[in-house]
């Protein structure tokens, strides 16, 4: 399963060093901007506008993921932490691929690794308190649901269909019918 997850991630994430293109209608670019810049997120801390809005949003999401993963690890939830990290990398990879349409090129693996390192450097390794253990227990079903969504091939297809786009193996984005 882990190999399949990695393959899926590499298929949907941008190819580093390759100039991707985005050939979609202006309205689609605005919808993609709303998504990658966090305007559609429930969490206000993910919402950004202006220059580098996609990078800022993805960095904020990665920081939250890093915190969740480190707490899970500290509480002995190693398998769950790896599954959550993998699922979030897929989501960040999809956002990074789409960010080409707003003129940004992002490396989600590097962003998440940087967030994890920054968190450990500034806060250290978190200790597992009863409150943290209880929080994981309360949210476990939600985490599992998010992992299942990220691992479902239909999820990415639904995103592409919703934006009426195709993304090739190199990360080039084309509007359906273009």
The SS3 assignment for 19 reads: coil
Q: The tokens of 43 are what? A: 């969490």
The domains of the chain are located at: 2-175
Write a three-state SS string for 88-140.
HHHHHHHHHHHHHHHCCCCCHHHHHHHHHHHHHHHHCCCCCCHHHHHHHHHHH
What is d(CA 36, CA 137) in angstroms, rounded to the nearest whole number?
A: 30
pLDDT tens per residue across span 111-131: 999 999 998 898 887 899 999
pLDDT tens per residue across span 9-49: 434 444 444 558 999 999 999 999 999 999 999 999 999 99
Task: Report the pLDDT averaged over residues 98-107.
Answer: 93
Predicted TM-score of the model (pTM) = 0.80
Position 171 scores a pLDDT of 85
Position 178 scores a pLDDT of 56
């Amino acid at each position: 399963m882990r190999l399949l997850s990695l393959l899926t991630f590499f298929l949907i994430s941008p190819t580093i060093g390759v100039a991707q293109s985005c050939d979609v209608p202006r309205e689609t670019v605005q919808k993609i901007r709303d998504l990658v810049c966090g305007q559609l997120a429930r969490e206000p801390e993910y919402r950004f506008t202006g220059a580098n809005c996609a990078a800022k949003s993805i960095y904020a999401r990665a920081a939250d993921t890093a915190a969740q993963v480190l707490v899970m690890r500290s509480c002995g939830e190693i398998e769950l932490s790896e599954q959550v990290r993998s699922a979030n990398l897929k989501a960040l990879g999809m956002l990074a691929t789409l960010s080409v349409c707003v003129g940004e090129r992002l490396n989600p693996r590097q962003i998440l690794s940087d967030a994890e390192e920054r968190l450990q450097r500034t806060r250290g390794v978190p200790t597992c308190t009863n409150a943290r253990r209880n929080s994981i227990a309360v949210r476990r079903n939600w985490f599992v649901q998010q992992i299942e969504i990220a691992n479902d091939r239909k999820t990415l297809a639904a995103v592409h269909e919703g934006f009426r786009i195709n993304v090739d193996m190199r990360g080039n984005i084309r509007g359906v019918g273009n």
